[in-house]
Every structure is written in structure tokens, then in C-alpha cells.
Amino acid sequence: MANDDQFKKVISHAKEYGYVFQSSEIYDGLSAVYDYAQNGAELKKNIRDYWWKAMVQMHDNIVGIDAAIFMHPTTWKASGHVDAFNDPLIDNKDSKKRYRADVLVEDYCAKIESKIDKEITKAEKRFGDAFNKEEFVTTNHRVVRYQEKINTILKRLGKSLENEDLKDVKALIEELEIADPMTGSRNWTDVKQFNLMFGTKLGASADSAMDLYLRPETAQGIFVNFLNVQKTGRMKIPFGIAQTGKAFRNEIVARQFIFRMREFEQMEMQFFIKPGTQKEWFDYWKETRLKWHKSLGLGEDNYRFHDHEKLAHYADAATDIEFKFPFGFKELEGIHSRTDFDLKQHEEFSGKKLQYFDHEENASYTPYVLETSIGLDRMFLAVFSNALEEEELENNTTRTVLRLPAVLAPIKAAVLPLVKKDGLPEVAQKIVQDLKWDFNVDYDEKDAVGRRYRRQDANGTPFCITVDHDTLEDGTVTIRHRDSMEQSRVKIENLRDIIKNEVDVKEWLMRMN
């Protein structure tokens, strides 16, 4: 299936099966804002819990907080967001469409990169087992030329953005003859900076109202609480503070479903360390976070690191964990070595000391910070889009199956009476009542059992439990596995253990080791 078609299928499946709805759809929706529906809210919660378990509860030296969305406005001056949280925007004069100038250039480079990929695939076919990829990409003239072109363009873009030379960004777009991807027009306006923060007001009367921002990241709620948590939790460096919560960005272009939203949720952890140890912790968290992702079994080849050449003003090293979404490899999580920038800034703007007294060193210092920051909605999209499959079956039919990792699936089991009579619904209901204490389970008695199986497959439910007439005789049921479609006969009292074995967070997280 073409990637575009696959992505459209993901979006419509998410709606049809009660995962994600357009916000305020009855009023034609609100651009880049989405609501999580009955199954989506459960899946999102399970992802959040999976992160929280691994990050907070399994680390003795990491604690979690829940800071407010509203923060004192000086926070955003100190953090640099008021002055520098900008994206360079460019409008097309003919189509009136608005784009991020840097993304237009990056997409241009991605096209050259796909030419490189094509050359590699061709050569792989030609040389077979003798193919040496590393040698090929460093010696093949065409590939080397393509790569040099990408490097030159990205270097120039990085430099222009760093120097705020927006004229040069426009000149680059013109030199590369980049056209509006929707219409092909090359009639561009100048490039302008656009601040991504949403403003609002606090207070009832117009003259005393205070200008506020909706937080564009959750990290600052952690920095301003650094000392409170360190002191009350008697935390010793190295230690981390984690939180999950909403963030808001007035994104210029937001056309990729829940990948880029204007209201979204982050799961962030700031790890406070001794200055000078940042390289070691950067490597540690790169490895640890990748292991967390891989524990979910979404496919080893679907991840790659993208180390940043152009660093944000606060960072001395940064990398993205990129995931292969239906529209290509894109950032899923950022890992940033933030130095002591944030604490020093808050110290300066608040006039309060934000230092740590190290008993071993018998000295005070401003800790350095290592950040891991992942978008919960992007993680949802990664899990959901990876799971959706049109499977060809042996009898020449297909089935739609949502192979969600069982630990994250919103509904763990559906209990189905074979028929709606002879006391079978009552037995099925009794099983539901028992299993409910441990798992989110569903009861379904409508339609033929085969159709109910298909419905649960498409919904991502790992188990179907069917109650039939034999159940009344011997207390056994049929349990059917979503992925293999295998069925076996088991005793009702064993159901809990069988399900637990497959959905237990511990079992899944142990795969990180």
C-alpha cells in the first residue's frame, strides 16, 4: 500500500473504531486539535502509564510531579521562549498557503536523500551478497555528489537561521527553485519570524489583568520546582524530575493528524547531574530510551538517531529518536544536554539561588541537565500506525487487524456468548464481572461470532473468550488470540493468568534488560 494511502487508512480507522476524533467536529472541527475517544483515551493512558512506570517508578532517583499549565510570565522570559521560540514562516503569494521556510528546505533535502536510497537499492540488487553499503555510499560518484549537496544546503540553512539571516533563507529557497508543494507556485513572500506561544490573560478587570502564556513545554514547570523537590525529597545528584502534561504551540503548519498538534501532551524528564558528566549521561539516556521504545516490539528497523548539528541556544548536545511513520522517518523523542542554562536563567530572573550543595565535594554548584522529551500523541501515532494491517489470509480473504502491543491495548479481552440464549449471556457476564477487577474487558453479543472476532481484531483486542454450550457442562471456554487467530480450550479459572501473562507491564518492561 502506498504510504499516503496507509496514512489515510490510519486516520479513518482511528475515527471508525473510537480512537481519535477531530475536535468540535459538529462545527467542522478546529485545525490541528483532536479529541481522544473511548478507546483512544485508554490507549493514551496505557502509553503514559508505561512511560511513567519505566521512568519514575522503576528508578529510585527519579520522582514525578504535576505542575500547572499557567506559570508566572517571567518564566518564559527566562527560558528564552519570549525572544526565541520562533519558527521562520513564508507565505506563497498565489496559493496564500503558509509554510515553515526551514521545513521547505529540509523536505527538498529529503527528496535528494530518497534518490540516494534508490541508488542503494539498485546497487544492492546488482551486487547481491557482495554489496558493501558503506563502501558504496562513500565511493559512488552520484551518491557522493547528492550527499555533498545535502550537506551544503543544510549547513547554509543552519548558519542563516543561527544568524537570523532570514533574507538568506529566502535566497536559498529561490536558488533551489523550491515550489509550493500544493500548487507548484514559486511566488514567495519574505521570510518572517513567528512566535509559537499562545497568549491569554489572568484576572477579571481589564486594567489589572496579567498577560500569560499557555506553556509551550512542560520542562519549565520542572526547573522552577527544582529546589522544592530536591529539598523535600532529599534528592541527591544525580536525580531526575519527570512529568506528563499538556503543552500548546501555535504551529505554522499542522497537517499531519496527531503528529503535529496545537494542543498536545508531553512526557518529559529532566535529569540533574554534576557538571562535566553530561557526555556520559547523554549516552546513557540515548541507550535507555531506545531500549524502552524497542521493548514494545514495533520493529528494530523503525528507529534511528538523528544527531543535531544546529543546537538550540541552551544545548551542548542533542539527538532525536526518529520513528518510521507512514510519511517517513520523523522525530518522536528529543534527548538534549541542556547544560546549566535553565537553572542559571531562572536564578538570574528570580533572584533566588538555585544551587545544589554536594556533600561529597563539600561545594555548591548549579547542576547540569539532561532532558528526555517525548510527545505522547506522537507515540500514540507511532504505536497505532505501526499496528494497523490488512492481512491476507489463506482462504484468499483479508482481515483488518490492529496489532497493538497487548500491554497497551485499550481492551484486553472481549467475552462473547456464542448465542444470546440458553443461559450463555449470564455466564459470559459473570466472567466479565470477574475479569473487570484486573483488566479492561468488553462484552459483545451482537452478530455471528466470526463477525465479532473481526470487530475485535480491528479494535486491537488481544483476546476473545467465547462461551458455548460446553461451558455449561465443563466450565471451559474458547480463548482466541488476535495475532495468530489460534484457539484453545481453557478453564474459566485460568483466564486471569493467561491474560495477565500477555499484558503484564513487568513482562514487557523486562525486555529492556
Q: Using H for helix, E for strand and C for coil, what is the string for 29-92? A: CCCCCEEECHHHHHHHHHHHHHHHHHHHHCCCCEEECCCCCECCCHHHHHCCHHHHCEEEEEEE
Using CB under 6 A as the binding rule, whether residue 412 contacts ligand ATP is answered as no
Give the binding range for ligand ATP (CB under 6 A) out of 124-132, 149-157, 372-380, 482-490. Answer: 372-380
Residue with smaller CB distance to ligand ATP, 107 or 119: 107
Using CB under 6 A as the binding rule, whether residue 332 contacts ligand ATP is answered as yes
* Candidate residues 375, 405, 417, 425; the one interacting with ligand ATP per rule CB under 6 A: 375
Residue with smaller CB distance to ligand ATP, 264 or 281: 264
* Candidate residues 42, 91, 340, 377; the one interacting with ligand ATP per rule CB under 6 A: 377
Binding mask 204-223 for ligand ATP (x = CB under 6 A): -------------x------
Using CB under 6 A as the binding rule, whether residue 261 contacts ligand ATP is answered as yes
Using CB under 6 A as the binding rule, whether residue 161 contacts ligand ATP is answered as no
Contact 143, 116 (CB under 8 A): yes
Using CB under 6 A as the binding rule, whether residue 40 contacts ligand ATP is answered as no
Binding mask 234-253 for ligand ATP (x = CB under 6 A): ---------------x-x--
Contact 214, 69 (CB under 8 A): yes
Contact 216, 229 (CB under 8 A): no
Using CB under 6 A as the binding rule, whether residue 264 contacts ligand ATP is answered as yes
Site for ligand ATP in 446-465 (CB under 6 A): none
Determine the Cα–Cα distance for residues 138 and 145; give it in Å rounded to an integer: 10
* Candidate residues 81, 215, 346, 378; the one interacting with ligand ATP per rule CB under 6 A: 378
Write the DSSP assignment of 380-430 as a string of letters: HHHHHHHHEEEEEPTTS-EEEEE---TTT-S-SEEEEESSS-TTHHHHHHH
Determine the Cα–Cα distance for residues 405 and 402; give it in Å rounded to an integer: 9
Least distance (Å) from ligand ATP to the CB of residue 320?
A: 7
Least distance (Å) from ligand ATP to the CB of residue 310?
A: 11
Using CB under 6 A as the binding rule, whether residue 100 contacts ligand ATP is answered as no
Residue with smaller CB distance to ligand ATP, 270 or 373: 373
* Candidate residues 266, 319, 456, 471; the one interacting with ligand ATP per rule CB under 6 A: 266
Determine the Cα–Cα distance for residues 356 and 365; give it in Å rounded to an integer: 6
Q: Using H for helix, E for strand and C for coil, what is the string for 431-449? A: HHHHHCCCCCEEECCCCCH
Least distance (Å) from ligand ATP to the CB of residue 448?
A: 41
Least distance (Å) from ligand ATP to the CB of residue 323?
A: 9
Using CB under 6 A as the binding rule, whether residue 337 contacts ligand ATP is answered as no
* Candidate residues 67, 374, 407, 414; the one interacting with ligand ATP per rule CB under 6 A: 374
Q: Which of 53, 178, 128 is nearest to 507 (CA)?
A: 53
Give the binding range for ligand ATP (CB under 6 A) out of 77-85, 175-183, 256-264, 492-500. Answer: 256-264
Give the binding range for ligand ATP (CB under 6 A) out of 52-60, 327-335, 360-368, 500-508. Answer: 327-335
Residue with smaller CB distance to ligand ATP, 331 or 347: 331
How many residues contact ligand ATP, by CB under 6 A? 16
Number of neighbours of residue 196 by Cβ within 10 angstroms: 15
Least distance (Å) from ligand ATP to the CB of residue 121?
A: 27
Determine the Cα–Cα distance for residues 386 and 294; give it in Å rounded to an integer: 13
Determine the Cα–Cα distance for residues 142 and 119; give it in Å rounded to an integer: 8
Give the binding range for ligand ATP (CB under 6 A) out of 260-268, 270-278, 293-301, 451-459. Answer: 260-268
User: In the chain, what is the straight-line distance between the N-terminal and C-terminal CA atoms, in Å?
Assistant: 35
Give the binding range for ligand ATP (CB under 6 A) out of 17-25, 168-176, 370-378, 438-446. Answer: 370-378
Residue with cell 509551550: 216
Using CB under 6 A as the binding rule, whether residue 482 contacts ligand ATP is answered as no
Residue with cell 504551540: 249
Q: Which of 94, 195, 51 is nearest to 512 (CA)?
A: 51
Give the binding range for ligand ATP (CB under 6 A) out of 54-62, 332-340, 343-351, 459-467. Answer: 332-340
CA 482, 330, 245, 58 torsion-angle sign: positive
Q: Which three cell numbers stand for residue 293?
A: 521504545
Contact 94, 187 (CB under 8 A): yes
Give the binding range for ligand ATP (CB under 6 A) out of 152-160, 175-183, 375-383, 444-452. Answer: 375-383
Least distance (Å) from ligand ATP to the CB of residue 154?
A: 14
Least distance (Å) from ligand ATP to the CB of residue 122?
A: 31
Q: Using CA atoms of 479, 480, 481, 486 in order, give the dihedral in degrees to the nearest 10.
A: 110
Residue with smaller CB distance to ligand ATP, 217 or 457: 217
Using CB under 6 A as the binding rule, whether residue 42 contacts ligand ATP is answered as no
Find the residue with minimal CB distance to ligand ATP. Answer: 375
Neighbouring residues of 108: CB distance < 8 A, sequence distance ≥ 6? 153, 176, 178
* Alpha helices, DSSP H, located in 224-367: 226-232, 278-295, 341-350
Using CB under 6 A as the binding rule, whether residue 81 contacts ligand ATP is answered as no
Contact 128, 121 (CB under 8 A): no
What residues line the site for ligand ATP (CB under 6 A)? Answer: 217, 249, 251, 260-261, 264, 266, 331-334, 373-375, 377-378
